[in-house]
Structure 1
Amino acid sequence: MDIHEILKKQKKEGERQRAWGDYGMVVSATEESSKIGADILKKGGNAMDALAAVQFGLAVSEPFNTGLASSGFIIYYDAEKKETKVIQGHSKAPHKSKKNVFVDEHEDVIPFLERSTPGTAVAIPGILKAFDKALELYGSKSWSELMEPAIRLSEEGVVVNKTWKSGLDRFGNRLSDEAKKFFFPNGVPLTEGEKVVNKELTKTLKRLQEKGADDFYCGEIAHAIVDITHKLDGCLTLEDLANYEAKVQEPLQANYKGFDVVVPSPPNGGGLALLYMLQLLEQLDLSQYEADSWERYYILTETLRIMTSDKLAYLADPDFYDVPVDGMLHPDYIKERLKIYNFEYRSEDILPGNPWEYDNDKSPSGLKPQKDDKGSETTHFIAADRHGNIAACTSSLEHTFGSGIMVPGYGFLLNNDMTDFDPDPAGVNGVEPNKYAVSAKTPTFVFKDGKPFLALGSPGGPTIVASVMQTLINVIDYQMDLKEAIEAPRVYNGTGPLIWWEEGIPSSAKQKMEKMNYDFDKIPLEIGNVQAILFDQVNGLMYGASDSSRPGKPACVNKDEAENE
């Protein structure tokens, strides 16, 4: 694949959600947070400094998708050492969690809405510990300095945008009484264009600025979190918060058409799922088919179904059960799974394969596969600096508004990450004390000849890996401009016949696949919100692009601008 042909397609001008710079780049789902990160770069901060400042900013400007009590995976490329590490801030089950917490007295699974909003839905949040660790290892500025822009933003207030409005319209019923005081003042939902100030969140941010992340895990804030979860039947304890540690891990890596793709390892599930699908797609040579052809959409759909079947069967917390990583990526196993494609009809039931045959030092758990994942919302953001360092994070409260529980007096929402577990106590991804649920988050770096080429990620729960995969192949296989690669219509499905689809998929492709026994959802849906940076090593430029499904905007930094700061 000729990288120069790809670079020629990148456009320097166009929509407001496209930018280019030679000294740094930040992309996120809100314009305010991207600007915060770029300002840190202008003032001499590095990529990790900027990423942390963006996370704090998103806690203010996108508080229903991420925040202080969220989970996340940070992936960092150190340009000097030429190595990538993962800092895991994934939420963890409290040590008093019960395996049967999400089934009733008849052993029937409790409906999602009912199990996602009480205190039992709240897992140990890890994002602040992750950024505390990341800044200790890679940052150049102080925690206090990096929190200051978010505090100023919180004091000034943010304008309610379409993402806020959509979340309130669709999921406002999930909010606790405390949360409704902020999001539904006087019983009326916040309206688009309205400026809103969360005074309690501002107070909390100032407290964290002064006392650091320890106050969230051991101090006054920790007590407030535990108090509210206990009042709502949760089991989170002060011991859980105090004992939480952010792990530094080695990433997974695989090659796709001459590009090295680097992702987090399990219990992150999105990364392995992406690499697995790319191995299938490389053998099928997707680029031989037109980008809007039915063949392409057929291949994407079946690939997602094959991946989902294996993901639900085998992915779990590796501290509890072996995960057949090598087996799933083994060339001989890929050949076995390729036999499922037929180009004539939808394969009725795609059952899990047997990757254990190609991963002999590991043992099957013997537990049941998880059922299809539920949808959720998240956010993704990336920062790149003038030294060549890149930092990216996908962080989440799990569902929009998380558990809906707002900590009284502190102005932030708690996650519902416990619902990332399979509610079936016998499932391989079932609830167990001190266990990580499998996560779909997929922060991704792509390298060419050892040099950074692309960084990308997306929110969207189980659809995350579909968004990342399709954007990546749009750039590499179809040599699209980055923004066009993001905006090209995407598809998603699990193991069944129903396909979620975005506006723009040709009716001829849909009709052909319907004859093959696929079922397209009645109306198109927005799938994911990809944020990405492409690196032009030849010309020393960074191209940033944001997805139009949210109002985010890349913020670039150019050399003259930074030197004059």
Structure 2
Amino acid sequence: MGYRRGKSLSKDMEKQSYERETAVGTTGMVVSPHSDATDIGEKILKEGGNAVDAAAAIQFALNVVEPMMTGIGGSGFLMVYDNEKKDVKIYDGHTRAPKGVHPKMFLDDNGEIIDFRKRSTHGTAVGIPGILKAMDTALNDYGSKPLADLIQPAIEAAESGIKVNWVLEEALQNFHYRLGDEAKAFYYPEGKSLKEGDKLVKEDLAKTFRILQKKGISAFYEGEIAKAIVSNLKEEGGFMTLEDLKNYRLTIDEPIWGEYKGYKIASSAPPSAGGLTVIQILKILEKFDLSQYDARSWEKYYLITEAMRLAFADKIAYSGDPEFSSLPIEGLLHDDYIAERAKAINFERRNDAIDFGNPWKYQDGKPNQVIRQPGDAEKSETTHFTVIDQWGNIAACTSTVEHPFGSGIMVKGYGFMLNNELTDFDANPGGINEPQPDKRPVSCKSPTFLFKDDKPVLTLGSPGGPTIIGSVFQTIVNLIDHEMNLKEAIEEPRIFASTGPLIEWESGIDMEAKGEMESMGFEFGDEPSRIGNVQAIQIDRENGRLYGAADSSREGKAAGIKEDQLKS
């Protein structure tokens, strides 16, 4: 078992990590990237709560323990499977743009694109947060416990203090430059960064949660919290108003559906390009039958790299907010278009000519203009968690503040970070993903469910910006084509490529296969890196078991529940 946290582990520590990260249950399962959050979700299920109840409690908890990845100042896609209705819905709590945005907002006075670090840590980078609205709406539809009860565990954690883990320490060391004055004063007391094992008390965040506990989620979009957000952003040069917050609109979406080797796949829908791109990659790969190749063969690496490059070229060209533009979804997944794209894969070398195709040939609609974008964006981070309850309902949520610590702006006196999600809009205007008021920027979040014989068999997702897509589809391939168990499928070293020749890679990939790929024109990063953080649950109906697995690239935990653990 290879652990990708970048530190060597003793046998005892490796065993402890594996036991924390894997679980078996019969009547429920929780998997999240932090043990404290998993424990809170597990407690909710044991006390009779359902999957949506637990998901909401976990989201609040992660704001306490993973503030660099997620929080109430961010967004998320919450995917829910209703086992009674056999129905899948996505609560799209993605950020929307304030009324003050405009297509040229990321250009300087000379019409040049503002440097990414500068534009992503400015008040104008902050979109209207939607994760709370997604949780609140889903709870209104499915919740069985009062919101106040679901917030309480996070309040207690914030007030009593949490131990800083290596993930937070590493984020502070690597991304300190993203922190504004308020956040820097909090996370660097007396000018020194917090370290693993330090205790961190979050009184201001607990105060904010108590307001929400007492007054409901509307208190975030109106009232004192909203006023504090707007006041802070005004100081930082932003243009969000109280009206923007009050008028935030959530949508409840149908998933994108696809098939792979007899499995039905439900994944996120636009404005997330994640689900569509995951399914497009799998449809391309199905033309080649990956199961005939070893999991670490150059043939496998070659196929998944070229499939990613083809799909990402299309993603960049054709992704946008469906409320503002027609999108060629039908064309991108059309069998004839997939066959056309697959012809670009020749097994001889990297195809230098890979670019976006023309899916509009297979779908009625007006083709959009494609505007090339700079490749200066840094790697974003996020979080993912998933839950199955005793009734067979499933909740899976990918939520974020976008880049580590978001915009770096911490709301004074309220203790939470604000996102930088507007930098997911195109910096170079003119395309379908250019900034416009009330519009949602393109995302890559990919909460995903797999079904066999119309019954759910897998729920998974990952953080990692564009690498989310790579992490999700490779885990699926490892399970289906290479017949790995769930933990093996998650831990198998991943690679990632967008449209160019450069491949990101994880420690453990086959070096001979890497060399073969390099001889075919591919370039690999100088050092391995961590790609994604998959959290997943597999449903074994034949044996009546749930298998949960957390990715070792953070300090995740899986907790299985058996019938005798449920409170009557």
Q: TM-score range by the shorter chain?
A: over 0.9
Residue 124 in structure 1 maps to residue 122 in structure 2: no
**2:368 pairs with one of 365, 368, 381:** 365
Q: Could you say which residue in structure 2 is the equivalent of 1:533?
A: 537
Contact 1:313–1:370 at 8 Å: present in 2 too? Answer: no
**1:170 pairs with one of 160, 164, 174:** 174
Q: Deviation string for 1:226-280 (max 9, x for gaps)? A: 0000111101111111011221111111111000000121111101001111110
How far apart are 1:16 and its partner, in Å?
A: 2.4
Give the aligned length.
Answer: 552
- 5 Å-filtered alignment, 1:29-40, equals 29-40=33-44
- 5 Å-filtered alignment, 1:398-409, equals 398-409=402-413
Matched residue of 1:398: which SS? coil
Contact 1:370–1:429 at 8 Å: present in 2 too? Answer: no
Matched residue of 1:399: which SS? coil
How far apart are 1:169 and its partner, in Å?
A: 0.8
Matched residue of 1:59: which SS? helix
Q: Could you say which residue in structure 2 is the equivalent of 1:24?
A: 28
How far apart are 1:428 and its partner, in Å?
A: 2.2
**1:294 pairs with one of 288, 294, 298:** 298
Contact 2:409–2:417 at 8 Å: present in 1 too? Answer: yes
Residue 137 in structure 1 maps to residue 141 in structure 2: yes
Contact 1:380–1:393 at 8 Å: present in 2 too? Answer: yes
Aligned residue type for 1:202: A
Q: Could you say which residue in structure 1 is the equivalent of 2:493?
A: 489
Cα distance in 2 for partners of 1:504, 1:30 equals 24
Cα distance in 1 for partners of 2:442, 2:177 equals 27
- 5 Å-filtered alignment, 1:124-523, equals 124-360=128-364, 362-372=365-375, 374-523=378-527
Q: Could you say which residue in structure 2 is the equivalent of 1:7?
A: none
How far apart are 1:387 and its partner, in Å?
A: 0.4
Contact 2:80–2:89 at 8 Å: present in 1 too? Answer: yes
How far apart are 1:374 and its partner, in Å?
A: 4.3
Cα distance in 1 for partners of 2:36, 2:378 equals 30
Aligned residue type for 2:30: V
Contact 1:182–1:198 at 8 Å: present in 2 too? Answer: no
Contact 1:314–1:369 at 8 Å: present in 2 too? Answer: no
Cα distance in 2 for partners of 1:247, 1:471 equals 28
How far apart are 1:60 and its partner, in Å?
A: 0.5
Contact 1:374–1:461 at 8 Å: present in 2 too? Answer: no
Aligned residue type for 1:517: G
Contact 1:328–1:334 at 8 Å: present in 2 too? Answer: yes
Cα distance in 2 for partners of 1:417, 1:366 equals 23
Aligned residue type for 1:18: T
Cα distance in 2 for partners of 1:371, 1:330 equals 29
Contact 2:387–2:396 at 8 Å: present in 1 too? Answer: yes
Q: Could you say which residue in structure 2 is the equivalent of 1:545?
A: 549
Q: Deviation string for 1:488-516 (max 9, x for gaps)? A: 00000111111000000111001101100
Contact 2:48–2:567 at 8 Å: present in 1 too? Answer: no
How far apart are 1:562 and its partner, in Å?
A: 1.4
Identity of aligned residues (%): 52
Aligned residue type for 1:332: D
Contact 2:28–2:560 at 8 Å: present in 1 too? Answer: yes
Contact 1:463–1:528 at 8 Å: present in 2 too? Answer: yes
Contact 1:27–1:382 at 8 Å: present in 2 too? Answer: yes
- 5 Å-filtered alignment, 1:56-75, equals 56-75=60-79
Cα distance in 2 for partners of 1:282, 1:369 equals 30
Cα distance in 2 for partners of 1:374, 1:259 equals 34
Cα distance in 2 for partners of 1:335, 1:169 equals 46
Q: Deviation string for 1:19-45 (max 9, x for gaps)? A: 011111111110000010010000000
Segments of 5+ residues of structure 2 without an aligned counterpart are: 1-16
Cα distance in 2 for partners of 1:215, 1:404 equals 23
Matched residue of 2:460: which SS? strand
Cα distance in 2 for partners of 1:14, 1:88 equals 33
Matched residue of 1:395: which SS? strand
Q: Deviation string for 1:361-413 (max 9, x for gaps)? A: x2112242545564200000001001000001000000000000000000000
Matched residue of 2:557: which SS? coil
After superposition, the CA RMSD in angstroms is 1.3
Cα distance in 2 for partners of 1:366, 1:427 equals 6
Cα distance in 2 for partners of 1:369, 1:283 equals 30
Matched residue of 1:554: which SS? strand
**1:52 pairs with one of 39, 56, 80:** 56
How far apart are 1:14 and its partner, in Å?
A: 5.2
Cα distance in 2 for partners of 1:428, 1:265 equals 16
Contact 1:330–1:358 at 8 Å: present in 2 too? Answer: yes
Cα distance in 1 for partners of 2:291, 2:312 equals 23
Aligned residue type for 1:363: K
Aligned residue type for 1:393: C
Cα distance in 1 for partners of 2:433, 2:374 equals 10
Cα distance in 1 for partners of 2:18, 2:562 equals 18
Contact 1:370–1:427 at 8 Å: present in 2 too? Answer: no
Contact 2:166–2:195 at 8 Å: present in 1 too? Answer: no
Aligned residue type for 1:394: T
Aligned residue type for 2:369: G
Cα distance in 2 for partners of 1:289, 1:367 equals 36
Matched residue of 1:25: which SS? strand
Cα distance in 2 for partners of 1:426, 1:370 equals 10
Worse overlay, 340-349 or 36-45: 340-349
Cα distance in 1 for partners of 2:321, 2:370 equals 13
Residue 101 in structure 1 maps to residue 92 in structure 2: no
Segments of 5+ residues of structure 1 without an aligned counterpart are: 1-12
